Structure 1
Amino acid sequence: MGEGHDGGKVLNIKTADVKSAAPVFRKQGKKLSDALKLLVTTLDGYGEPWGDDKPGKEFGKKYSPNQKQLERAAGIAVLGLVSIHEALDDMADGHVDNDEAIAGIFTKEQQHGGDQGKGAK
């Protein structure tokens, strides 16, 4: 069911595609996490490295009061990417389980369906 190729289907989920896409989110979440750690540790180590010139002062004036909020927002983005990875894995697993359950229902119907017509008038 999940691997069908009928163009008329409303929902055509290919579990292999979902499974292969999931790790991309984990990988990108890791990259963003590493970049955030580097940014935080580097800036904390240098103090205010943007300089004393006019552009540096303008940047510092806008960045400093918002630094923690920006770091928190990037952290939320990291968690979001990781949770998308987990959700895609869960969705693919659930889709496979659902397909197996539906297939089981039809298999049971086929096994018992032939007996229902016998003796009935």
Structure 2
Amino acid sequence: MTDQHQSSNETVNVDTDKLKPAIAKFNDLASRLKSVGTGLDLICQSYGEPWGDDKAGKEFYGKYEKPHADLIDAAHDAGAGFSIAADSVGKMVKAFEDIGDQAGAQGRRLRLSVDPGTGQDPPPAPNE
């Protein structure tokens, strides 16, 4: 375990505009992986059962069935993982934007309040 200390004076900056394209890329990868898995399975099924009903055919199928199913499952699982990643990044972006909006609203409320030291309104904020 590491001991990490963070000062409350440190600033955290998150550029959500740069994160948003990652959501689309994750969704695209998810779709492509699921499509690859489905396509491979359909192509393999289109050939029927090319192994024979003899001992060699049954031995081949015994060695083929699990790796084939595992490969198809891996493509679908990876696609699902990228879908989950896209959702997670989307939620993270929304949370950061909400925090920024809340901080901005709080800052505006504080700026508009009367300065307790002088009894006067503070000067207007730049860009307002």
Task: Give the TM-score of the pair, scaled to structure 2.
Answer: 0.66
The RMSD of aligned alpha carbons is 2.7
Specify the code of the residue in structure 2 equivalent to 1:19: K
The alpha carbon displacement at 1:101 in A equals 0.3
* Structure with larger Rg: 2
Give deviations 1:12-32, integer Å, cap 9, x for gaps.
311111111210111111111
Q: Which residue of 1 aligns with 2:83?
A: 82
1:13–1:37 CA distance, 2 compared to 1 (3 A): same
> Which consecutive segments of 4 or more residues in structure 1 shift more than 3 A?
47-50, 59-63
Q: Which runs of 5+ in 2 are unaligned?
A: 1-9, 52-59, 120-128
Task: Give the TM-score of the pair, scaled to structure 1.
Answer: 0.69
**Structure whose residues are more often helix by fraction:** 1
1:17–1:62 CA distance, 2 compared to 1 (3 A): farther
Q: How many residues align?
A: 104
Q: Which residue of 2 aligns with 1:31?
A: 32
Question: Higher relative CO (CA 8 A, sep ≥ 6), structure 1 or 2?
Answer: 1
Q: 2:19·2:89 contact (CA, 8 Å) conserved in 1?
A: yes
The alpha carbon displacement at 1:48 in A equals 5.1
Q: Which residue of 2 aligns with 1:6?
A: none
- The percent identity for this pair of structures is 24
Give deviations 1:42-90, integer Å, cap 9, x for gaps.
111213569xxxxxxxx86644223223322221111111121122222
